[in-house]
Amino acid sequence: MNLRKSCLPPGWYPRDPGRIRAFLKGAAPPPRPCCAAVAPHAGWYYSGALAALAAEALAAGVDAACGGRAERSGWAGTAVVIGGHLPAGADPLFAMEDAADTPLGPMEIDGGLRDALCRELEGREDRRGDNTVEVLIPMVKYFFPAAQLLWMRLPAEACSFEAGQILARIAASLERPLVVLGSTDLTHYGVNYGFTPRGNGPAALDWVKNVNDRRFIEAVEQGDPGQALERAEGEKSACSAGAVLAVMGYASQVRESAGAAGKCIAHGTSADTAPAEGGNPPDSFVGYGAFSWE
């Protein structure tokens, strides 16, 4: 078996299966069931709890469809994880291996769905290490132990919305049940990221949470992919907008009249986890959001 190995160094997520299970069993009560979601992709220490909410909402959706958690353990659909960190004009990228390695065991890659989508989107092999997909796969393996995986990354441009619609159409033609999980962090603020339009301190953190992140969140909740992309790129409020647009496109295709509008189910920043001394925010921090499409 051609196995895609982990590229992330220790610390991004637990490598011990028992620690992974303990982390995810301790997650908050499941939110409302959904067919698609978006999660942050920082290390689990910072954003793992929010990412788990998104993954759990997907699991609740499969529970509702197939009759409960026990039945979900044997659910043989495909979990699509869509990452980003690709600029406009970049080719869609796909994992071409047979399976992806995880601490909970290998996760087989859905080669049939991948190859069909790769041909349609003129994608190519993802040869680089990247956190936007890998950091979420152990969660996906935990919640959907019998599922296959589709690993893809999409650029921050409008055509990624259409890519999500194409994903829905191809999966339907193959009669492939899906859960779809996109991956993005929100505003990267501070000296580490060269972005300090509001200086430092509590006022900067408040601006990120209640203005800059919030404007991107509102665009997603309004189901407006154009505004989401414009705000992500122009206002630096999301680092992997292509993944979010793809989820919006997928949702617009499968939800019919419900359209592309999602719901932010949790929002925070790395400063919530690691505040500086005296309660002030650190010089640099990142926003995180979890979204669902019921």
Residues in the chain: 294
More confident residue, 257 or 192: 192
Task: For helices 225-234 and 213-221, give the axis angle rounded to 10 degrees.
Answer: 170
Please provide the average confidence, as pLDDT, over all residues in the chain. Answer: 93
**Residue 278 belongs to domain with CATH number:** 3.40.830.10
- C-alpha span between 67 and 293 (Å, rounded): 20
- Is 15 a domain residue? no
Q: Which two tokens stand for residue 239?
A: 């680092």
- Residue 276 has what pLDDT? 66
Whether the pTM exceeds 0.85: the reply is: yes
112 in a structural domain: yes
Give the pLDDT confidence of 115-146 residue by residue, as tens digits: 999 999 999 999 988 999 999 999 999 999 99
User: Can you tell me the mean pLDDT for 220-247?
Assistant: 98
Token pair recorded at residue 219: 């665009």
Share of the chain above pLDDT 90, in %: 84
88: in domain: yes
Give the pLDDT confidence of 165-188 residue by residue, as tens digits.
Answer: 999 999 999 999 999 999 999 999
Does the residue 61 lie in any domain? Answer: yes
pLDDT at 271 over 90: yes
Q: What is the CA radius of gyration of the chain?
A: 18
Six-digit token string for 207: 């601006």
Calculate the alpha carbon distances from 18 to 10, 28, 84, 103, 233 in Å: 16, 18, 29, 9, 39
**77 pLDDT exceeds 70?**
yes
Q: What average pLDDT does the segment 88-108 reach?
A: 97
Give the domain range for residue 161.
Answer: 29-293
> In 78-97, which positions are buried (b, 16+ CB within 10 angstroms) versus exposed (e)?
bbbbbbbbbeeebbbbbbbb
- The answer to whether the CB of 154 falls within 8 A of the CB of 199 is no
Q: What is the count of structural domains for the chain?
A: 1
Question: Confidence class of residue 259 from pLDDT cuts 50, 70 and 90?
Answer: confident
CB 52 within 8 A of CB 24: yes
Region at 11 (left for phi over 0; alpha for psi -120 to 50; beta for the rest): left
Per-residue confidence at 279, pLDDT binned at 50, 70, 90? confident
- Inside any domain, residue 21: no
pLDDT digits (tens, 9 = 90+) for 8-61: 999 999 999 999 999 998 666 667 888 999 999 999 999 999 999 999 999 998
Mean pLDDT, rounded, for 79-87: 96
User: In this model, does residue 66 exceed pLDDT 90?
Assistant: no
The answer to whether 113 and 18 have CB atoms below 8 angstroms apart is no
Query: pLDDT class for 76, splitting at 50, 70, 90?
Result: confident
| pLDDT at residue 228 in the model | 98
